[in-house]
Every structure is written in C-alpha cells, then in structure tokens.
C-alpha cells in the first residue's frame, strides 16, 4: 500500500473530502512521483460521486474515495452550488478531461510506460499514433464490472503484471474507483492511477467535447446529453441531478453532510 502523504489541505463538501487543486497543481503532483513509486490513484469527483455515496448502496465506495491520493473537484456545477448556497471560494475545478489533456500534451513522454484499462482497439491506436507511445499496454474488460468482482480482479491482475508510470482507468464511475482501490489494497503495483472516465476519448478527438463557451457556462452536461441522449439521460437525471436536492437539504440543516472549510494536510492512503 502506498505511503504517499499529500501536502495539501482538504475540505468537506456534501460527503466528499476534496483538495483545493487546479489542473496545474494536480499535474505537478502527479509527475513529481517516481516512476516506480508504489501505486496511488487520483479521483476527480463530481455530482455523480455525491449522489452515489449518499445512497450508500455500493460497498467500499466511500473507502475508494478516501483512499485516493489526490481527490479533486471535477465539476463546475459543484463549484457553482458551493458558491451560491454555501458561499465557498475554495473549490477550484480540475476536470478529469483537462487533467488528462495536460498530462498527455505537456508531461507524459513517448518513452513513459502507459497502461489503459478500458477503451477499444481504436482508442489504443489513436493514443499510439498521436502521442508516439512506445510502451502502451491495454486491457479491455467486459461490461458489468460493477457487479463482477472477478472481472475487476482481472483488471487488477493486469495492472500488477504490467508496471507502468501512468495507469489510465477508463471504466466510468464507480467502476474505475473500485478498480483503483482494489489495486491499492492488493499491493504489488506501481505508478499513478487516474480515474478519468471518457477523458482519453476527448483527448484523442474520438469524441467531441463541449465548446469552451458551454464549459464556462456550466453547460457541458447539456452538450453530452445532446450528442448521446441514450447514455446520458440516466447519468444526468438519476445519477447526478439529485445532488441539487442533497445540497438544498444540507443548506437547510436537514442532511448530515459536512460542509467544512479547509483543514490540515491529509493522508491519501
């Protein structure tokens, strides 16, 4: 298990324990780790994380959040709610997509060893073509990872068997975080895991991301809904939108979620 200790303070917001890091600070912390450092992972949290942990139906989900070495705010919606309802000014946004692009374009070299958990052959081909990776390993797990511990164990086996400096876990939430937690607790793996959803598809251009004006207006969710309504309707309206009600109840004192200002440095594992 990693012994990394984050030097960053943390704050609690709607059940999340986050660190006030922007993209540049997050990337700097990640690349500062030694290539053979014991496995640690990064979780970029959004409204879906708030809702799923509030429901409490997935064993280990809160542990997966708290065991992450870096825990950043992925959501402009969360920042907006924090500002409007709670007067917070300490919630910088580190979108997983922005962090992934920054790492790929400015920090990860062609000679760095990369592992990708998820995606398909097209994604691996584009990563090799666009970023000239000489050592890229990919594992394509089956569907149903959330309810299949054996399939997640196969992902962990692959990560342990293919040492890499950067491990992109692109299986969606909460599957990616569970795989990262299980890798950490198995032991024997190295590198930094990044739970980044569809970010590699955005970084390679295989999927179009919302234009900047929509991102700045906190409308990226609307763009995703328009381009892929079948996939996004459930994610937005069932998995994410209830965060608004959780926030209102917290503001009215009807919910026990902590909303605490910056605290001292914490331990990522």
- Indicate the pairing of strand 11-13 with strand 70-73: unpaired
Distance between CA atoms of 38 and 40, rounded to whole angstroms? Answer: 6
Contact criterion met (CB below 8 Å) for 96 and 74: yes
User: What SS3 state is found at 260?
Assistant: strand
List, for residues 149-182, the tens digit of each pLDDT value. Answer: 999 999 999 999 999 999 999 999 999 999 999 9
Where does the pLDDT of residue 121 fall: very low under 50, low under 70, confident under 90, or very high at 90 and above?
very high
List, for residues 241-267, the tens digit of each pLDDT value. Answer: 999 999 999 999 887 777 787 776 654
List, for residues 20-34, the tens digit of each pLDDT value. Answer: 999 999 999 999 999
Q: Indicate the pTM of the whole model.
A: 0.90
How many Cβ atoms from other residues are within 10 Å of residue 206's Cβ?
Answer: 15
Highest mean pLDDT among 52-56, 209-213, 256-260: 52-56
Q: What is the DSSP letter of 240?
A: I
Question: What's the pLDDT at 269?
Answer: 44
Q: What is the average pLDDT across 180-206?
A: 95
């Amino acid at each position: 298990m990693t012994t990394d200790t984050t030097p960053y303070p943390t704050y609690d917001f709607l059940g999340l324990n986050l660190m006030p890091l922007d993209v540049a600070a997050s990337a700097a912390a990640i690349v500062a780790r030694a290539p053979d450092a014991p496995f640690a992972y990064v979780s970029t949290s959004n409204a879906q994380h708030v809702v799923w942990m509030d429901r409490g139906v997935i064993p280990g989900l809160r542990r997966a959040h708290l065991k992450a070495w870096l825990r950043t705010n992925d959501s402009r919606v969360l920042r907006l709610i924090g500002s409007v309802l709670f007067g917070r000014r300490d919630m910088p946004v580190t979108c997983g997509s922005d962090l992934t692009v920054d790492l790929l374009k400015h920090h990860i070299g062609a000679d760095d060893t990369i592992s990708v958990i998820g995606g398909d052959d097209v994604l691996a081909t584009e990563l090799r073509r666009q970023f000239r990776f000489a050592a890229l390993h990919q594992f394509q797990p089956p569907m149903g990872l959330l309810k299949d511990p054996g399939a997640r164990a196969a992902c962990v086996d692959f990560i342990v068997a293919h040492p890499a400096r950067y491990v992109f876990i692109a299986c969606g939430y909460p599957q990616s975080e569970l795989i990262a937690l299980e890798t950490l607790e198995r032991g024997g793996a190295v590198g930094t895991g990044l739970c980044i959803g569809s970010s590699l598809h955005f970084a390679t251009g295989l999927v179009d991301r919302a234009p900047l004006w929509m991102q700045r207006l906190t409308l990226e969710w609307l763009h995703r809904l328009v381009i892929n309504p079948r996939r996004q309707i459930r994610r937005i309206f069932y998995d994410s939108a209830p965060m608004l009600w959780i926030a209102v109840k917290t503001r009215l004192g009807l919910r026990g979620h902590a909303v605490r200002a910056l605290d001292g440095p914490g331990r990522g594992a």
